[in-house]
Chain A
Amino acid sequence: AQSVSQHNHHVILSEAASLELGCNYSYGGTVNLFWYVQYPGQHLQLLLKYFSGDPLVKGIKGFEAEFIKSKFSFNLRKPSVQWSDTAEYFCAVNWGGSTLGRLYFGRGTQLTVWP
């Protein structure tokens, strides 16, 4: 069955620290990959997405992610976090074909950045 795993449930960093959040999905095939962010009290917002092409994807607010097909992974990175990055981060996967766009989400990672 399709599933998405996020390795860290809660990450605490100081400002200017580097960030890497892990995301793995259960099996291959054609996948579309997403990272969403949910700021406190707000809705899910798209950070970045991968459909095809260059496996290193750049998103908004200095975030990037790398798709490694052989590892079924799509890890999120940011070289220097800010206090305003405090939020919950969700990795999501859509498997192509019959799933018709439904997203499978990971459990989310709560990122807390101390000023």
Chain B
Amino acid sequence: AAGVIQSPRHLIKEKRETATLKCYPIPRHDTVYWYQQGPGQDPQFLISFYEKMQSDKGSIPDRFSAQQFSDYHSELNMSSLELGDSALYFCASSSRRGSSYNEQFFGPGTRLTVL
């Protein structure tokens, strides 16, 4: 079965650079979530989109922005990177239709290292 795809899997950037993370949800899923997992920490919700509109916003820094495109893939744009942004960034997708409503399927994550 198709899963959530994230790219790149690994990314190394320097301070003050920008980064773009991509997420391709499971086909026919209409909702995308982004989470950040720092070293030894639990995943923290950043932002979510439903049908290409922002549906919820968590602890996402102002330096970050995200959007969901017409094909439902999502991109997380991160600017002025800081050392503390080094983390594993997970994307998850779900569908508001059917019995699996609100069940989130996670991608493999993008490991961002900021030097």
Contact = CB atoms under 8 A, between A and B. Distances in A.
B108 A100 contact: no
Contact of B41 (A32, A43, A107): A107
Contacts of B94: 101
B42 A105 contact: yes
A43 B90 contact: yes
A89 to B, nearest CB: 11
Interface of B: 4, 31, 33, 35, 41-45, 48, 50, 55-56, 58, 90, 92, 94, 102-109
Given A90-B43, A102-B58, 12 more contacts: A46-B103, A46-B104, A49-B103, A100-B50, A101-B31, A101-B48, A101-B56, A101-B102, A102-B33, A102-B56, A103-B33, A108-B42
A70 interface: no
A106 B106 contact: no
Nearest to B41: A107
A114 interface: no
